[in-house]
Structure 1
Amino acid sequence: MSTFLFFTALVALISYLATRRHRMDSSDAYFLGGRSLTAWIIAGSLMLTNLSTEHLIGLNGDAFNHTFAVTAWETTAAIAMVVMALFFLPRYLKSGFATIPQFLAERYDGQTRTIATLIFLFSYVVAILPVVLLFGATGIDSLFDISEQTGLSPDLVKWMLVWGIGALGSIYAVFGGLRAVAISDTVNGIGFLIAALLIPALALWMIGDGNPMAGLETVYTAEKPKFDVTGDEPGSFLPFSVLFTGMIVNQIFFWCTNQSIVQRALGAKNLKEGQKGVLIAAGFKLLGPAVVVLPGIIAFYLFKDDLSKDQYLQAYPMLVKAVLPDWLVGFFAAVMVGAVLSTFNSVLNSSATLFSEGIYKSIFNKEASGERIVLSGRVCSVVLALAAMIAAPLIDTSGSLHNYLQKINATFFGPMLAVILLGFFTRRVPALAAKVVLIGGPVLFFLLVFAFEGPVQAFLRDLFRTPYDIHFLHLLALIFSVSVIFMLVVGLVSPAQKIYKAEYTHDVDITPWRHAKVVGSVIIVLTIGFYALMAQ
């Protein structure tokens, strides 16, 4: 307990000392950290905004049930982050955007921004915020046996942890703004990376009797089919083919246009620092398989006779209990809580930015002062935090929660990415086409994947003469393609009258990092090389 309290307090102290003189009287100061973030802070915040217990427990649980192929959710992200650094970020910083919907307002119109803002906020409230809290609460309870040690029921402990973590995360987001969030993310990220890599290292050390490489060889020999990164077993949970369809759409949207992610880079002090930060985070993504997949396979090797498929969420906690020394339990608990806090408060901060800039200022109070805009963001954060804390304990935990999260997100990803990309690459696609796609695209995806999943899959199985369901990522790619084609056709028939031209706002220096292309190329080669090495 003392170690837990020390590390948690240390993160809070460092965040406070780094931000105590940082004024929160303008939207740039509160939402973008005063455009002062440096490379390592951006990299740390990007990693911890994305990585949390839903990855450690959820993805490792999926690896326990399936194969190494689930690493695609993490590994392919590195390529998308290179695209972000080299293509998207220079354009964002040149135009001085605080939010993605702000770009949509300038490219299309204000109604398009409002629709996009509401979609972002809805997806955060329905999917990310409550799921992050739920995974954090159940994971921490499983890892440290809080229910057993206190004698309280698991449901009560889950409620207590959800509200405790949610309240603490809200404090960072509401009072500290992006700078406090990013700094706490970075400090937590160092601890998280050390702790997360320690678990597979200790497990392989134990299996190999003091020789981790011998332990890895033992696990690989015994469970060789589990290490197939292509995932091409019949009816695959994540077939290799999705890497060339919906996974591309998913990763480009998430890492290049998703507000909760790109906001860290939008707060960069200049393009050079932003590109370095994004590419450093992309390099760390290559460590993802060792953190969020390999432990699940090690757990399968050790506990496959003790855990059923339905108990997959217990795989990682059981491994941690088996290998973690008692003196490290407090530190591990602190970094797990920190990981949950980082994702939760980062999404809250982004939600506040979206609401204040895209709803409050643009609709309700166009002449609002900086203080009023910040206040509206703080109120939004509190409301969303309360909604997430109420909803989290009610989520059904049967099935793959990580897959559930990705399905919910995919409902919005395809249409939104189509609208953003065509906003960059075309001049004649009108606002009407964007609005139809933003509303109709998610509705169509919901009908295909959720409402009428049975009949749709039956039709597709018959069409493609396969006994297996078509993966939802293929359907994501379909919705994206339909959205693009529809918008292009509308642009030909009824082209936009207003021609958008990006203007350089001079908010930050946009001189690129001179090593960006070389480093990006190396990351792409290493990612492809990893797949070539692991393919069976």
Structure 2
Amino acid sequence: MESVIQIGVFLFLTLLVAFLTWRKCAQAPSRGETSRDYFLANGGLSWVFIAGSITLTNLSTDQLVGMNGNQMALLALWELAAVVGLIILAKVFVPIYYKYNCTTTTELLEKRYNNHHIRATVGTLFLLGNVFIYLPTMLYGGSLFMQSMFKVDLSIMQLSVIFAVAGSAYAIFGGLRAVAVSDTYSGVGLLVMGLLVVFLALSAINFDFTGIPAERLTLIGDDNSPIPWHTLFTGMLFIQIFYWSTNQTITQRAMAAPNVKEAQKGVLSAALIRFCIVPAMVVIPGICAYKLYGKMGDATYGHLVGELMPTWLSGAFAAVMAAAVLTSFNSVLNSSAALYVCDIHEKYFNSKPDMKKLSTTVSIAFVVVALALVPVYSGTDSIINLLQQLNGLLSMPILSAFITGLLFRNVDARAVMLSVVFGTSLYAYFTFGWAPFHYIHMMFITLLSCVGVALFLNRALFRKKAEFVFTRKAQLDLSEKVA
């Protein structure tokens, strides 16, 4: 009888979110056939849906499972640093994206360098990260959670297929508007249930942290910790700038508002949610689980919830966790389709494609590749630590292209493209070969090296002298001339 109630609650809430999303989208103006209409919801997202979609796009099982799986307070630094990244997005990047009338973040590069090849190059790197890293890890993390919490008689691969099919339906048939609306409705439930898990975990240890090793409670990491304290002053800030300010999956929501002020309001609201609520959700349950059960790794969060969550609520929790997986997955899938269509297909194959048909085709292809890669990630000790480390292969080289383009003018796009290839190779060497410092430091070194190589090649190979743009006002003045 209990299992019937669990399944019933799960199905009811899942279908309720789908119905509310359909009703909200049906009330909106019909979607046009241009890439901007298709991927930016006709510029019709209000600040509420921007904040909700940004929050839930990031807050998925790879965060809840991976960060709690480390079972230490230190991982909260990722979320606190993210607040800074969101503020930079709102105050610095959003006005620039709107001045340039961008559909994708990479369109900014095309207009700054006056070269569509750099847009395609960086867009391809984003795609590689989405398809080979983000999509499969989201499917794996969500499937692992469901399996460890509910002891379901389904394999990781079978659960991944279910998530992939359901998640891609939102992205393919509803576009960005459906993704953002479902994110917001599901996000309310996830935040409420996530805070409930925090309370249940604290109650289970009687709000008493004695007996837990000090290194699991500190926010100052030593050299052997996942986040040594000194990395906060090098690569950490730039990791956040990359993820929140240049990553298509996140910024696509901010670019879909009617105007800059509405976009900024949504982004800053997401920053407030992240500061006040998310850090507790991603570390406290894991720490409490350490006291209750010892070291458990990525299975921690699912096991804890399965033990402490009242049976009558477990179906509701399963629904919001499934929604977290689906919304994060469909968000990355939708942004991946946007990158391919806008940055590659329209530039090199057909400037006026059948938008819906093309988006559907490439989305299905991305899903198939992601499913094939799920087994690759199933043997990792910590999915979140691996994810952050692999990000450096693409994040810092990509960010260097944005930094060079925004801080300098008269830089040849070919110099930047060569520096991006150099940076990816350099970080790969640091990751798989020689690693003298922590990988976050290596990210910082990679970023500086990319910018330096771009400026050197610009002068030595292409005989151009880069000019430094001193102020943000000067950047906006330049954008007005180009727009």
TM-score in terms of structure 2 length: 0.92
Shift of 1:220: 5.2
Partners of 2:74 and 2:210 in 1: how far apart?
15
Q: 2:119 aligns with which of 97, 108, 113?
A: 113
Query: Is this contact kept in 2: 1:449–1:472, CA < 8 A?
Result: yes
Q: Do residues 426 (structure 1) and 408 (structure 2) align?
A: yes
Shift of 1:224: 4.0
Residue equivalent to 1:230: 220
Query: Is this contact kept in 1: 2:170–2:178, CA < 8 A?
Result: yes
Shift of 1:390: 2.2
Residue equivalent to 1:292: 282
Residue equivalent to 2:4: none
Partners of 1:70 and 1:302 in 2: how far apart?
19
Identity between Structure 1 and Structure 2 (%)? 36
Q: Do residues 471 (structure 1) and 469 (structure 2) align?
A: no
Shift of 1:221: 6.5
Query: Is this contact kept in 2: 1:92–1:266, CA < 8 A?
Result: yes
Residue equivalent to 1:241: 230
Q: 2:81 aligns with which of 58, 61, 76?
A: 76
One-letter code aligned to 1:84: L
Shift of 1:283: 0.9
Shift of 1:29: 2.3
Q: Secondary structure at the match of 1:231?
A: coil
Partners of 2:236 and 2:91 in 1: how far apart?
20
Structure 2 matches for 1:447-458, cutoff 5 A?
447-450=429-432, 452=433, 456-457=434-435
Q: 2:129 aligns with which of 107, 120, 123?
A: 123
CA RMSD of aligned residues (A): 1.9
Partners of 1:505 and 1:426 in 2: how far apart?
15
Partners of 1:222 and 1:434 in 2: how far apart?
49
Structure 2: where are the runs of 5+ without partners?
A: 1-6, 470-474
Structure 2 matches for 1:435-446, cutoff 5 A?
435-446=417-428
Shift of 1:162: 0.4
Closer, same or farther in 2 for the Cα pair 1:207/1:504, shift >3 Å?
farther
Partners of 2:482 and 2:447 in 1: how far apart?
31
- 1:111-130: per-residue Cα shift (whole Å, max 9, x none)? 11111111111111110000
Q: 2:145 aligns with which of 139, 147, 152?
A: 139
Query: Is this contact kept in 2: 1:174–1:381, CA < 8 A?
Result: yes
Residue equivalent to 1:275: 264
Aligned pair count reads 463
Residue equivalent to 1:489: 456
Query: Is this contact kept in 2: 1:133–1:166, CA < 8 A?
Result: yes
Q: 1:48 aligns with which of 35, 56, 59?
A: 56
Shift of 1:207: 2.9
Structure 1: where are the runs of 5+ without partners?
A: 148-155, 209-214, 461-469, 507-536
Shift of 1:375: 2.4
Partners of 2:110 and 2:355 in 1: how far apart?
18
Q: Secondary structure at the match of 2:155?
A: helix
Q: 2:480 aligns with which of 481, 503, 517?
A: 503
Q: 1:5 aligns with which of 11, 18, 26?
A: 11
Shift of 1:272: 1.1
Greater displacement, 434-443 / 493-502 = 493-502
Q: Secondary structure at the match of 2:480?
A: coil
Residue equivalent to 1:330: 315
Q: Secondary structure at the match of 2:410?
A: coil
- 1:505-526: per-residue Cα shift (whole Å, max 9, x none)? 99xxxxxxxxxxxxxxxxxxxx
Partners of 1:377 and 1:439 in 2: how far apart?
28
Residue equivalent to 2:3: none
Shift of 1:446: 0.7
Structure 2 matches for 1:250-265, cutoff 5 A?
250-265=239-254
Structure 2 matches for 1:9-48, cutoff 5 A?
9-20=15-26, 21-24=28-31, 25-48=33-56
Q: Secondary structure at the match of 2:209?
A: helix
Structure 2 matches for 1:138-217, cutoff 5 A?
138-147=144-153, 156-208=154-206, 215=207
Partners of 1:314 and 1:348 in 2: how far apart?
26
Partners of 1:145 and 1:345 in 2: how far apart?
25
- 1:90-120: per-residue Cα shift (whole Å, max 9, x none)? 1101211001221111222111111111111
Query: Is this contact kept in 1: 2:149–2:303, CA < 8 A?
Result: yes
Shift of 1:60: 0.3
Closer, same or farther in 2 for the Cα pair 1:480/1:48, shift >3 Å?
same
TM-score in terms of structure 1 length: 0.83
Closer, same or farther in 2 for the Cα pair 1:326/1:94, shift >3 Å?
same
Partners of 1:237 and 1:207 in 2: how far apart?
25
Structure 2 matches for 1:264-413, cutoff 5 A?
264-286=253-275, 287-304=277-294, 307=295, 311-366=296-351, 368=352, 372-413=354-395
Partners of 1:374 and 1:406 in 2: how far apart?
33
Q: Secondary structure at the match of 1:182?
A: helix
One-letter code aligned to 1:97: C
Q: Secondary structure at the match of 1:252?
A: helix
Partners of 1:502 and 1:26 in 2: how far apart?
23
Partners of 2:321 and 2:210 in 1: how far apart?
28
One-letter code aligned to 1:424: L
